[in-house]
Chain A
């Protein structure tokens, strides 16, 4: 009986990993139920404990980071910090972030400056639970003889850091209820959660890259009989580039010493993705008091000029070069704010089309006797996704004795359903494969807050279930991790080989503190 959550996932051939920071209006894609660390939940959010419901429910803390023009709601100067930590269950990884930000307004101008430091632990295969899962000993007869004096670095067990710098400036247009703003988020990346597990059998993965996220947003509002109507618009550009320097310890037979030995092999993999995005949101009040309804529409167009050669289930060097993805989301949300009670719900449908392929690096003969020229497509993958997201949450503030103090409680739930069809064409083997599959991830959320007249402190948490991470598996060639995992973005992998996952949960805790600046 496999462990809970163990899945036989057929994997491989083309894999695209958009490991850029997963921010609002960047639509995530996953083709395998791999658990992702909550690495990019950096900045505070009012609604984090309410399932992150956000279409019809304003989030004064998070909104300026999603659409800079929503910084128009900044009323005065404030300083905030939101230490965040996440962990993957079964000791499979984790990380910590410490952001600081200043929000300020001067008449029609407003802006935000934020810096964040982050530490990400190395990903590890999930540890078995209980006393009976202590691993499988490798028989001495097939263990490589450690006679090679050449240095092969061991696994990198250190945590590595990332740096984030965010700046936003906006202006209210006088005489109108319109505001425009632009933001830039620069990320220096040395540790993307789970990337080290993408290279099965590797000794260590050194990451070095950056992401640049540029946004230009606008918001306008009209007064109506029942309240304000708002229209938001956003254009974004996200560039991601990283190099993964991967060290493998390859086992080979050395005729000189008549024994198995290991030698180091270092590969440099470049990962590049560019995304253009367009986003609109329109909200209006409903007839009943306190209710609002909103609609969103988002378009992402991503191209992947270079994708790393990930090691998946011991399948090396499969070219996974170009591809592109067109992703939409269409959502509707309702909210109710009445007195000190808040409720929000979003329903989002995400149709996604993705096309990826592998290039022939040299002329290749096909099973039918033809020859594919260098550069021809050897494998083509067409993905059609029909994903859906449901976000629900409710909150209530309670006035504490003494006056001026509010205690808040939030509960929420986020459900993400992934469903896709894959049509894969293998032009070498002349095979056509089809796959229809899906799964659901669910994330309960919770939050507490304490608001004083001068400052507020919040705690929010969430735990994502329904996904897994590759487990350690015995391999006669002593490769420790045979399968893959990824966190922090999008996974787009055409099924082709076995992948064993062990069910893990990702739990995130965030404490945010907001102080006024005078």
Chain B
């Protein structure tokens, strides 16, 4: 028996020595789904919940206001002129054409003696999703006070979106008009006579126009039953526009959103491959992350400079660097959210790239792309305003975002997969939005 016990003890010792840790299981690649789900967790990609319900009366008022040119000094441009449902709530132009222009969508042209709005009109799709920064330079933010210097002091509003709706009517190029302008009826543009610092007077002027229209009196009374017409404020109007945007312009039913909602079949294999690149090797998610795939950060993406420029840097546009004098912010613009990006060409803050393929190729090697940019790819109307001199390019590259300085070396097939993934971010119901365009507005001005 002792012999058996001894044998057993030896076996125990051998077992202890030999069997501490099993070999790891290796050699099987992760599936695309497994990679994507892991990357979602890494980059905080979560589904978007439903939009909050809006008061139908408020939505009806906001819809009328959105499409009514009565808000503009010259009565010739509405919010929807540059945020056109037929153009997916953008205008299809590289740089927006404000008051004085004619036509709609990509065919819209500048009026005599007018200049382009210096930046691209961003889509209003999903503008109510809760992004922390609004405008390309992020000057409206829910993170504390806006960067100095404040252009105007905004009154308290229901939300950031309503605050945004208060600003275009103050901008001379966009909606207000220049001193001496007359409106479409030949009457003097009373808004244009105010100084740029007289924001409150301009807003009051707009409200005086609105309450003079019986149709608006009815709509306002329904939306704000407790406020007499004489006490209505411009921010009430802005709140109604924001309600319409929230009700009608949220489009988060893309295949990608269905995939986020646990439907593994919602994305094609190509889109999944592109997604894995997007969140991995192509490094897109280093900026385009979070629930909106962007919208929370700023970056100098080495975008060619075109247009009339902004502020002291004109004819250049230093983006957020015009507001905050940090090196990181020079030529930096808000990282846009990407849902429905397929529909909202042209791209970047000045529309300098016409297709998603061109955008991805730009990111594949930003430095080379910027240095070899071909202005003939720009629309003829803005081609001459391309600032391709060496000093400008060097200045752009000097503050190029660190995340973009190394080339990605993506192959054509990978670029195609990335584009397929980006197209999977499109909500099918966003492909035709013309149904939200009203046949008429209370002022009687033409809608289109």
Contacts and interface: CB of A to CB of B under 8 A. Distances in A.
A366 B37 contact: no
Interface in B18-56: 18-34, 37-38, 40-44, 46-52
Interface stretch (A253-261, A277-285, A348-356, A508-516): A253-261
Interface stretch (A39-47, A451-459, A491-499): A491-499
Contact of B49 (A254, A439, A440): A254
Interface of A is mostly: strand
A435 B28 contact: yes
B398 interface: no
A477 interface: yes
A411 B142 contact: no
B142 A496 contact: no
A503 interface: yes
A361 B22 CA distance: 37
B263 interface: yes
Interface residues of A, number: 77
A393 interface: yes
Interface string B241-271: 0000010001000000000001111001110
A428 to B, nearest CB: 6
A341 B24 CA distance: 41
A476 B41 contact: yes
Contacts of B32: 429
Contacts of A261: 49
A5 interface: yes
B41 A366 contact: no
A263 B261 CA distance: 13
A433 B12 CA distance: 37
Contact of A313 (B37, B129, B292): B37
A269 interface: no
A422 B26 CA distance: 12
Nearest to A479: B41
B46 A251 contact: yes
B264 A496 contact: no
B289 to A, nearest CB: 10
Interface stretch (B1-9, B280-288, B348-356): B1-9
Interface string B38-82: 101111101111111000000000000000000000000000000
Nearest to B34: A497
A444 B250 CA distance: 63
Interface residues of B, number: 55
Given A252-B47, A255-B51, A317-B263, A413 B19 contact: no
Contacts of B9: 411
Nearest to B29: A433
B128 interface: yes
Interface stretch (A6-14, A158-166, A168-176): A6-14
A327 to B, nearest CB: 20
Interface of B is mostly: loop
B134 to A, nearest CB: 12
B164 to A, nearest CB: 14
Interface string A433-450: 111111111101000000
A367 interface: yes
B34 A313 contact: yes
A442 B130 contact: no
B388 interface: no
A19 B324 CA distance: 62
A65 B186 CA distance: 102
Contacts of B5: 394, 396, 411
B25 A466 contact: no
A13 B47 contact: no
Nearest to B38: A314
B33, B38, B129: residue with the most chain A Cβ atoms closer than 10 Å: B33
B149 interface: no
Given A252-B47, A256-B52, A440-B18, A429 B34 contact: no
Contacts of A428: 269
Contacts of A442: 15-16, 19
A465 B20 CA distance: 8
Nearest to A262: B46
A103 B270 CA distance: 65
Nearest to A424: B28
B11 interface: yes
B291 interface: yes
A315, A316, A465: residue with the most chain B Cβ atoms closer than 10 Å: A315
A12 B5 CA distance: 43
29 contacts: A4-B20, A7-B24, A7-B25, A8-B26, A9-B25, A10-B25, A11-B34, A33-B22, A250-B47, A252-B49, A253-B291, A255-B128, A255-B129, A255-B130, A259-B130, A314-B40, A315-B33, A315-B34, A317-B264, A343-B1, A343-B4, A367-B270, A411-B9, A441-B19, A466-B19, A467-B22, A476-B43, A497-B30, A497-B31
Given A10-B25, A429-B31, A442-B19, 17 more contacts: A5-B21, A7-B22, A8-B24, A142-B44, A252-B291, A254-B49, A255-B128, A255-B250, A313-B37, A341-B1, A362-B265, A392-B8, A396-B1, A413-B8, A429-B32, A442-B16, A503-B21
3 A-B pairs closest in CB distance = A439-B22, A256-B52, A258-B130
